[in-house]
Amino acid sequence: MVERQFAVAGALAPAVEAVVANHVDTDTPVVVEGDYVLPGLARPGGLVRAVFPVLAPRPWADLVGRVVEAVRAPAGGSSAPAPGPPASVDLAQGPAAP
């Protein structure tokens, strides 16, 4: 079953790559989310970044805050927050620069 999921993701990859390339070329921010999105487009130090924290999608109202919290959490499950951007993110403006 997992192999089929990867096969579907691979079949959709050219379309996702075209969308990402268009946004990179036009310097237009975008968030691509959903099933079958593979992390291969993101490269260390590149123009495309990826975040794959596994979180419950609902409630929607606090999803952004939960994503930021998950990204800021240190490895190993410690309760101390990792240094980073503030927990509030304006999706229209994107996260604050470090």
Task: Tell me the pLDDT of the chain averaged across its residues.
Answer: 78
d(CA 83, CA 17): 32
Residue 58: exposure state from Cβ atoms within 10 A (0-12, 13-18, ≥19):
exposed
Look up the pTM and report it. Answer: 0.55
User: For 76-87, how does the pLDDT look when each residue is reduced to its tens digit (9 = 90+)?
Assistant: 554 444 444 444
Res 42: pLDDT: 83
User: For 3-35, how does the pLDDT look when each residue is reduced to its tens digit (9 = 90+)?
Assistant: 999 999 999 999 999 999 999 999 998 888 888
- Describe the chain by its helix, strand, coil percentages, rounded to 5: 40, 0, 55
